[in-house]
């Protein structure tokens, strides 16, 4: 007998209203899908940065220019905060925790805040602390992708909903 329950979704805690971002704010995503999935018990909220021990608020951090999360995971790049401190170990710890939680909770999908050095799924900041964005994934998005979790950005929520709807039998 197969399990017909939909897969769970690992979701950036800031997207569901938790004030865990570097600036002490949330980045709440207003969506009927979020409401439905929450009511169905499908959401697994996580802020990988606070789970790894980062304070709120904290200095903003970015992956070094030209590199992305997979480079950080491979040891080829660092994540530096705006004060010049190397925060790589904390961010990689958060990525490891995200992969462990996704596996334990049965999350086949993740809905992550774009732009973040952790959760950026389509874009990350330039690495120069200049407010510019570029294509790339953060360390959590890269680690989850490598672990077989399909990662979506907030602007891809309709695509995520369609994917989940298609996985249900009948």
The domains of the chain are located at 8-165
The average pLDDT across 25-44 equals 96
Residue 167's pLDDT band, with cuts at 50, 70 and 90, is: confident
- Residues 50-88: tens digit of each pLDDT: 999 999 999 999 999 999 999 999 999 999 999 999 999
- Residues 10-26: tens digit of each pLDDT: 999 999 999 999 999 99
Cα 136 to the center of its chain, rounded Å: 13
Phi-psi region of 17 (alpha: psi -120 to 50; beta: other; left: phi over 0): left
Provide the token pair at 159: 């695509």
What mean pLDDT is reported for the chain? 95
């Amino acid at each position: 007998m197969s399990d017909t329950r939909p897969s769970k979704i690992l979701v950036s805690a800031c997207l569901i209203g938790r004030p865990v971002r570097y600036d002490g704010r949330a980045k709440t995503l207003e969506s009927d899908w979020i409401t439905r999935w929450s009511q169905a018990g499908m959401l697994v909220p996580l802020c990988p940065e606070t789970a790894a021990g980062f304070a709120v608020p904290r200095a903003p951090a970015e992956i070094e220019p030209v590199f992305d999360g997979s480079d950080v995971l491979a040891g080829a790049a660092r994540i530096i905060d705006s004060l010049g401190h190397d925060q790589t170990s904390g961010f990689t710890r958060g990525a490891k925790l995200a992969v462990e939680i996704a596996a334990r909770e049965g999350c086949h999908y993740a809905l992550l805040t774009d732009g973040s050095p952790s959760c950026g799924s389509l874009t990350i900041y330039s690495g120069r602390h200049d407010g510019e964005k570029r294509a790339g994934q953060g360390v959590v998005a890269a680690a989850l992708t490598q672990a077989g979790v399909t990662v979506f950005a907030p602007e891809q929520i309709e695509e995520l909903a369609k994917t989940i709807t298609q996985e249900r039998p009948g």
